[in-house]
Amino acid sequence: MALVNEHFLKLQSNYLFADIAKQVNRFKVTHPKAKLIRMGIGDVTQPLAPAVIQAMHRAVDEMARKETFHGYGPEQGYPFLIDAIIKHDYERLGVFIEPSEVFISDGAKSDCGNIGDMLRHDNSIGVLDPVYPVYIDSNVMAGRTGTFADGHWSDIVYLPCTEENGFVPQLPSRRVDIIYLCYPNNPTGTTLTKEQLKAWVNYALANDAIIMYDSAYEAYIQDPAIPHSIYEIKGAKNVAIEFRSFSKTAGFTGVRCGYTIVPKEVTATTLKGERVPLNKLWNRRQCTKFNGTSYITQRGAEAVFSTEGKAQVKATIRYYMENARLMKEGLEACGLRVYGGVNAPYLWVKVPDGLTSWRFFEKLLYEVNIVSTPGAGFGPSGEGYLRLTAFGDRDETQEAIERIQHWMR
């Protein structure tokens, strides 16, 4: 008889965005004529950059000829993409990364979810609250989270990010082994300054902790003083693993490509105290469980760093950030308090008094036909907020704001 991993049974029945999709589908059945505007899941709407499409077409043609066909590629990714990442994403920040520290994957979600494979089940975990649900759910599956009551997992240290603390989390009051940070933040759309991030790196150095740093939204940073990578902070290469994605940077949500930096210096210990470099273990894990991102996809990702690719991708990011600006202004004009949306594609909206975030979500869906994400779905401190994404089409974004303004008057 096969025994189930009972930790899975502790999970809420659906992943947050699957739950929302279910509610939206139910709405569509009962309201077939309603014109829905989707500002829920952070999925992009603009097409891939022409430079990416051309590179992918060329790669498809290569696959059609015996002489240029590619079968299995390196599990870690092709050197052409790894070199482009090092040069364009890190050298410009003055950060030195070795090719063997870069692991190309099918996206940051998989890597954030799988990274715990290398770490014991009894490590203590610290997460921002609200938080991207993958960090918690994947640790629930691994048995690191204890029991769930009143919106909290017993073995997780929650680090509230609230209006009161300006969405800047305090350092944990008790020691944690692994800390998940996401900046620019999903879902609040807020950022940390270099000084604020430095406090976390220093915490990890002082407490022998590891930071899992998700910087999937770094391309949306507008303020030159805000760090794009945790490795801009001295000492971070000893304690941090960084996740990046082409999904939001270059519209790859449906193509799937991301990468993870596992510096050689980052270690965890055995029970006997022996230090083990995680780079070696992650390489071993990937070689066993992952057969690499497709050649065609990696050629497309490489083109993001070409001169034309960079300009085209930047133009799309400007488009989304203009959406964010219009949304923020429009919502504030209705008297709503809005955070984020300046260095990130997410707006974190304070729900009007007396409503829960799920209730406000339902009202937006049923009364103005707009899909959002209720803040409570991201954790206890998300109650009282709603997340809206700026990844929409411009006309729809403007229409959504007009609908909300009209509705709130």
Interface with ligand MLT by CB under 6 A: which range of 37-45, 72-80, 113-121, 155-163? 37-45
Size of the site for ligand MLT (CB under 6 A): 6
Q: Residue 312 interacts with ligand MLT (CB under 6 A)?
A: no
Of positions 39, 55, 109, 241, contacts ligand MLT by CB under 6 A: 109
Q: Residue 336 interacts with ligand MLT (CB under 6 A)?
A: no
Q: Residue 374 interacts with ligand MLT (CB under 6 A)?
A: no
Q: What's the closest the beta carbon of residue 132 comes to ligand MLT, in angstroms?
A: 6
In the chain, the amino acid numbered 73 is G
Instruction: Enumerate residues 43-62 that contact ligand MLT by CB under 6 A.
Output: 43
Q: Residue 21 interacts with ligand MLT (CB under 6 A)?
A: no
Give the bridge partners for 84, in sequence order.
Answer: none
Q: What's the closest the beta carbon of residue 173 comes to ligand MLT, in angstroms?
A: 28
Q: What's the closest the beta carbon of residue 275 comes to ligand MLT, in angstroms?
A: 33
- As given in the structure block, the two tokens for residue 6 are 């009972």
Angstrom distances, CA of residue 169 to CA of 36, 176, 192, 256:
35, 14, 10, 31
Residue with the CB atom nearest ligand MLT in the bound state: 42
DSSP 8-state secondary structure symbol assigned to residue 88: I
Q: Residue 42 interacts with ligand MLT (CB under 6 A)?
A: yes
The C-alpha atoms of residue 224 and residue 333 are separated, in whole angstroms, by 28
Q: What's the closest the beta carbon of residue 73 comes to ligand MLT, in angstroms?
A: 24
Q: What's the closest the beta carbon of residue 57 comes to ligand MLT, in angstroms?
A: 26
Q: What phi, psi does 275 have (nearest 5°)? A: -80, 130
Interface with ligand MLT by CB under 6 A: which range of 38-46, 64-72, 83-91, 156-164? 38-46
Q: What's the closest the beta carbon of residue 256 comes to ligand MLT, in angstroms?
A: 11
Q: What's the closest the beta carbon of residue 209 comes to ligand MLT, in angstroms?
A: 25
Angstrom distances, CA of residue 77 to CA of 110, 141, 246, 287:
15, 27, 14, 11
Q: Residue 41 interacts with ligand MLT (CB under 6 A)?
A: yes
The H or E element spanning position 6 is: none
- As given in the structure block, the two tokens for residue 275 are 């230090």
- As given in the structure block, the two tokens for residue 406 are 């009209």
- Show the DSSP H helices in 171-294 as ranges: 194-207, 246-250, 278-289
Instruction: Enumerate residues 176-235 that contact ligand MLT by CB under 6 A.
Output: 186
Residue from 288, 260, 236, 246 nearest 113 by CA: 260
Question: From residue 125 to residue 164, what is the string marking binding to ligand MLT with x (rule CB under 6 A)?
Answer: -------x--------------------------------
The C-alpha atoms of residue 190 and residue 186 are separated, in whole angstroms, by 8
The C-alpha atoms of residue 381 and residue 131 are separated, in whole angstroms, by 9
Sites of contact with ligand MLT (CB under 6 A): 41-43, 109, 132, 186
